Structure 1
């Protein structure tokens, strides 16, 4: 066969979207021998987990973490040679500071031991100072009941998590100090606005599947180093053609039964197309008849995340991170080293489910959050604030509301050769980096199967 004939026989895949879902799909397809073109409207890769420059700082648009149970994202880090730059804790340890009573601020910890599930958290729960003895016992009973649920049961998706917690004896304080402490950060919703199915998946997988499942990892470098720089290098090495600043505007079926993607000035013929963009953008690109009920995509709501960035002239926090109770502040991370700040300390506040404040002025946010930081961190009293700024992701995640499960589409569409990816698709996970990577893996696997191309699933649980 001539070189031209070999090229012609090599299937061509076009991936629309350069977030974690899209780059994962592109890498998996290229690794299996396809010729791949990836188009992304932004000037960078990484989607909603990215970095930018602000003076001397490298700033993440938001604080992103993952857990040891996030096997897909861990695979992704390995694939782009970035695992060493986003290490995991040796053992789960979450400092939780309660300042509801300013006269008696209390620090507690959510820690695990090496004991088997569920004993690995028993000691931490028994000594958790933010709940009464009766509340701790009730939490233990609810956790055991949660472990008996099947997150894939469609009936669970119709219920809200708060109602289930109430039926299992959880006080308002227990929901605030434990269930929402974890749930808001992972689901981007409070218990009363979260699907029981998704909540059960988070807690069962993270806390009840293995002793180390909830150990936390986060990037010790700017996210752009992982999701853009290293990812672009991996794509280049895999032979993927990457076109940035290129918006896809049309996807049509050709007379020959293949696909054509119009992206910027490009007209790309393809055997396989993966749409890895948000649900509304996907809806606009979908050819007629490719989903049974395409308008369902428009019913998948979104939820915002607000990130507040504060640079002090000196060190005010000695821990890498902590969570807060009795304060509007949710989680605080030290981003000094990762940002490249030479002097002082840079703290990032991550505020999930921030519907009430996502459009608040910087002045109003400064007036609210700086005093709160001083309340949480006595060392901040008298410290000079050298910079205060805000990043807002108004559509950071899909809203995990009851009933969302029936709206999330599978990777395959009704049209041969057209696939969907994105954390909002039917991964079984909430809108996390893990869910995004899983969706890209699933879309690529479906495409490769339909093309008859041999491939192995990269995740251990699929083996």
Structure 2
């Protein structure tokens, strides 16, 4: 019987606190969003935590760098209102105000390949319940025929009826499902892939139906505001490195960058040794929050039943094209494009610190065919496409043109990938996995990364008998 007292808990860590069980030590390997989240959660629960990151910065694949006077994000990252874990993370590092959400979903979609010329449409929601919140937008969406609009509505209702817990969905591809539900090639390009490529990093035919259904059901068919878009109005490094490091410091986490883990080993059936050049760190729990191939290399024998499955999880690239003009050429903060290789265009002028002109970033997902092309070839292709898309670019001077490439930006959401994604727990006591590629139920997004970090910390805290921090992100029952 309980005596009514509660285990000592601190809602957020403080380097000066001495909490019950503070002698317990956790090492988190990897300083991306998953690793930072796990480290914060463990520290907030009163544990001593060491975070080790091989790069000179935190943030993983969502980071910034300097190019002359510009502060450049390696790629454009957005999130949705339904990304509740990432929103919690922003609150935890005190960065929510720097990455605000739209008041209401509104996406301008410009088609440059219509017989009558350029045509602008919009995907936006009304203040109505699901699915009526998108009814008017789809009814007037000019990039689909009337027949396609009707069929899109029927397919959306069928999608809403799918059971995301059904493992059979993972083995099917989204493109075949769309075709079986009457979706034309035009509808797939102008709507389903417009959203799906950006969120899944794959076209419909290459994507698991399970992951695609999760994206559309959660983002567009769960709550009227679920798909409202948010993005950083400052460089990503301000959030995922600077503010994250400040939060880690305040929580008492020892953070070491430029520190690559060479191996981990278990002893005494419970304790762990984490080996880095010049030091061996002992720990009660280890969280591996690194990509799947690096995880495979570090896993001790027997930690997973079939560790080779990690190597079967494919990767998918994202290409980002950056153009600086000598004048303003785009009035909207962003737009999506049809009838052109250009997918999404974002105005990064203010965030980059550019004082005059305009800086546009083109986010090109599922870029397998272009990821290794020379900059000169990409310049020759994309500048004319931007002239078709944005007429004011035709008289503008190009002050800078460069590209950033993430060849392994995400895991490939191919059919069957679900059975390859491991959960947070391993068979080795005290060893846990985190990363957007683990079994979160989400595609490879910032949301998935944060959820994985919370799951790994939860598993470690339960095993060690530590109380869950009161303010840690709480998973919904359906998650």
CA RMSD of aligned residues (A): 1.4
The residue number in structure 2 matching 1:345 is 358
CA distance in 2, matches of 1:461, 1:411: 17
The residue number in structure 2 matching 1:398 is 411
The residue number in structure 2 matching 1:49 is 62
The residue number in structure 1 matching 2:152 is 139
The residue number in structure 1 matching 2:212 is 199
The residue number in structure 2 matching 1:129 is 142
The residue number in structure 1 matching 2:474 is 459
Identify which of 91, 107, 110 aligns with 1:97: 110
CA distance in 2, matches of 1:103, 1:123: 23
CA distance in 2, matches of 1:261, 1:7: 24
The residue number in structure 1 matching 2:188 is 175
TM-score by length of 1: 0.98
Shift of 1:462: 4.9
Shift of 1:113: 0.7
Which deviates further from its counterpart, 209-218 or 254-263? 254-263
Q: Which runs of 5+ in 1 are unaligned?
A: none
Q: Does 1:77 align with 2:78?
A: no
CA distance in 2, matches of 1:375, 1:9: 61
1:354-369 pair list within 5 angstroms: 354-369=367-382
CA distance in 1, matches of 2:258, 2:20: 27
C-alpha contact (below 8 Å) 1:71/1:459 kept by paired residues: no
The residue number in structure 1 matching 2:198 is 185
C-alpha contact (below 8 Å) 1:260/1:267 kept by paired residues: yes
Q: Does 1:303 align with 2:311?
A: no
C-alpha contact (below 8 Å) 1:39/1:263 kept by paired residues: no
Q: 1:81 to 1:6 in 2, by over 3 A?
A: closer
SS of aligned partner of 2:238: helix
CA distance in 1, matches of 2:24, 2:298: 22
The residue number in structure 1 matching 2:3 is none
Shift of 1:265: 1.9
The residue number in structure 1 matching 2:229 is 216
CA distance in 1, matches of 2:21, 2:271: 13
Deviations 1:215-273 (A, max 9, x none): 00000000000000000000000000001000001110013630000023221000000
Which deviates further from its counterpart, 150-159 or 417-426? 150-159
What is the number of equivalent residue pairs in this alignment? Answer: 460
TM-score by length of 2: 0.94
CA distance in 1, matches of 2:279, 2:103: 48
The residue number in structure 2 matching 1:327 is 340
C-alpha contact (below 8 Å) 2:42/2:457 kept by paired residues: yes
C-alpha contact (below 8 Å) 1:315/1:344 kept by paired residues: yes
Deviations 1:42-80 (A, max 9, x none): 000000000000001000000000000000000000000
SS of aligned partner of 1:461: coil
CA distance in 2, matches of 1:403, 1:310: 38
Identify which of 306, 327, 330 aligns with 1:314: 327
1:243-322 pair list within 5 angstroms: 243-255=256-268, 257-322=270-335
SS of aligned partner of 2:216: helix
SS of aligned partner of 1:253: strand
Shift of 1:104: 1.4
Q: 1:460 to 1:397 in 2, by over 3 A?
A: closer
Identify which of 367, 391, 395 aligns with 1:378: 391
Q: Does 1:233 align with 2:246?
A: yes
1:55-70 pair list within 5 angstroms: 55-70=68-83
SS of aligned partner of 2:308: helix
The residue number in structure 1 matching 2:4 is none
SS of aligned partner of 1:88: coil
Which deviates further from its counterpart, 101-110 or 374-383? 101-110
Structure 1 runs (4+) greater than 3 angstroms displaced = 5-9
The residue number in structure 2 matching 1:21 is 34
Q: Which runs of 5+ in 2 are unaligned?
A: 1-15
Shift of 1:451: 0.7
Shift of 1:10: 1.6
CA distance in 2, matches of 1:264, 1:103: 64
